[in-house]
């Protein structure tokens, strides 16, 4: 993962200028969203960018190659790239991302891409259940492999928490709770609804902001409680 903080602002500015020069009139929007836009990013956070182009075919992408390659060289993920027409038809597929951008996205170039998009509760629930179940299945498999190794368990909890924070916020929105909260308050809010103890995620919340996460023990009950909390969350989504 690339560094956050002031270094992120410098890298974003360079990427913005490089894209602006390379894409020219083909560029419709570039938006920062997720934890970096909310101001809650930590050293392991991904930087989420949405790039919308008038022409997103191979011909339209070729001029962007060097700018995107430079952006990803230090560990940043490439932006999600849509054509303008494709993005307009994406509201039923990506409602979580659209609502995240609507609430706290930061437009870096061009127009606001969600100003005219509407999402539905049904679409949000479908995406949320699909992604929550998929993330839980992946977590369970990774836990089975990591459980005998305390260091691997530590890395698993820290690395997976960001995904579940996105899903927790989406679940609160699904249940008509549009209040903006920091990560710890979000965990407490979803825990009270899903019926798991918020302390089950406390170790992960604390250690993902540390330069080096404290090592857990093999088969550590902290990791088992985290796994149980995720299972309770998936059951809550299924009932929503």
Among 110, 135, 152, the domain boundary falls at 110
pLDDT category, 98, cuts 50, 70, 90?
A: very high
pLDDT category, 43, cuts 50, 70, 90?
A: low
Residues 159 and 65 in one domain: no
pLDDT category, 24, cuts 50, 70, 90?
A: very high
Residues 138 and 219 in one domain: yes
For the segment 170-190, the average pLDDT, to the nearest whole number, is 88
Q: Tell me: pLDDT of 20 over 90.
A: yes
Residues 105 and 211 in one domain: no
Among 50, 78, 110, the domain boundary falls at 110
CATH number of the domain to which 85 belongs: 3.30.460.10
**Residue-wise pLDDT tens digits, 200-222:** 999 999 998 776 778 899 999 99
Host domain of residue 134: 121-239
For the segment 27-55, the average pLDDT, to the nearest whole number, is 88
Question: Looking at the DSSP assignment, which residues form a beta bridge with residue 32?
Answer: 49, 106
Per the domain annotation, does 75 fall within a domain?
yes
pLDDT-above-70 percentage for the chain: 95
Residues 127 and 106 in one domain: no
Among 90, 110, 130, the domain boundary falls at 110
> How confident is the model at residue 214, as a pLDDT?
83
Per the domain annotation, does 116 fall within a domain?
no
**Residue-wise pLDDT tens digits, 134-147:** 999 999 999 999 99
Residues 132 and 63 in one domain: no
Residues 73 and 138 in one domain: no
Residues 174 and 193 in one domain: yes
pLDDT-above-90 percentage for the chain: 81
Tokens of 157: 């909890």
Q: Using N-to-C axis directions, what is the helix angle for 183-194 and 221-239, rounded to 10°?
A: 70
Residues 182 and 223 in one domain: yes
Buried b (16+ CB within 10 A) or exposed e, 129-146: bebbeebbeebeebbeeb
Per the domain annotation, does 1 fall within a domain?
no
Residues 72 and 157 in one domain: no
Q: Closest by alpha carbon to 204, among 180, 229, 167, 173? A: 229
Question: Looking at the DSSP assignment, which residues form a beta bridge with residue 31?
Answer: 50, 107
Q: Which residue has tokens 């965990």?
A: 187
Number of domains present in the structure of the chain: 2
Residues 100 and 150 in one domain: no
Per the domain annotation, does 140 fall within a domain?
yes
128 to each of 15, 16, 17, 121, 166, how far by Cα in Å? 31, 31, 35, 10, 10
Residues 67 and 128 in one domain: no
Residues 46 and 136 in one domain: no
Per the domain annotation, does 148 fall within a domain?
yes
Per the domain annotation, does 115 fall within a domain?
no
Work out the mean pLDDT of the chain and round it to a whole number: 92
218 to each of 146, 173, 208, how far by Cα in Å? 8, 36, 19
């Amino acid at each position: 993962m690339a560094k956050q903080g002031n270094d992120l602002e410098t890298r974003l500015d360079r990427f913005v200028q490089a894209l602006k020069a390379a894409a020219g009139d083909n560029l419709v929007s570039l938006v920062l969203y997720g934890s970096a836009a909310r101001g809650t990013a930590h050293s392991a956070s991904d930087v989420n960018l949405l790039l919308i182009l008038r022409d997103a075919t191979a011909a339209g992408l070729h001029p962007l190659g060097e700018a995107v390659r430079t952006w990803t060289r230090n560990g940043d993920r490439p932006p999600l790239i849509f054509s303008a027409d494709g993005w307009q038809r994406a509201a039923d597929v990506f409602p979580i991302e659209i609502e995240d951008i609507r609430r706290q996205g930061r437009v870096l170039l061009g127009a606001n891409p969600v100003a005219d998009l509407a999402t539905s509760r049904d679409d949000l629930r479908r995406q949320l259940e699909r992604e929550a179940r998929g993330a839980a299945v992946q977590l369970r498999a990774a836990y089975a492999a990591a459980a005998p190794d305390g260091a691997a368990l530590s890395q698993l909890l820290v690395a997976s928490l960001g995904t579940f924070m996105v899903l927790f916020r989406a679940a609160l929105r699904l249940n008509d709770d549009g209040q903006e909260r920091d990560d710890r308050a979000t965990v407490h809010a979803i825990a009270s609804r899903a019926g798991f103890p918020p302390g089950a995620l406390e170790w992960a919340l604390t250690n993902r902001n540390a330069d080096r996460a404290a090592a857990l023990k093999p088969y550590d009950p902290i990791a088992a409680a985290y796994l149980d909390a995720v299972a309770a969350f998936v059951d809550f989504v299924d009932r929503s």
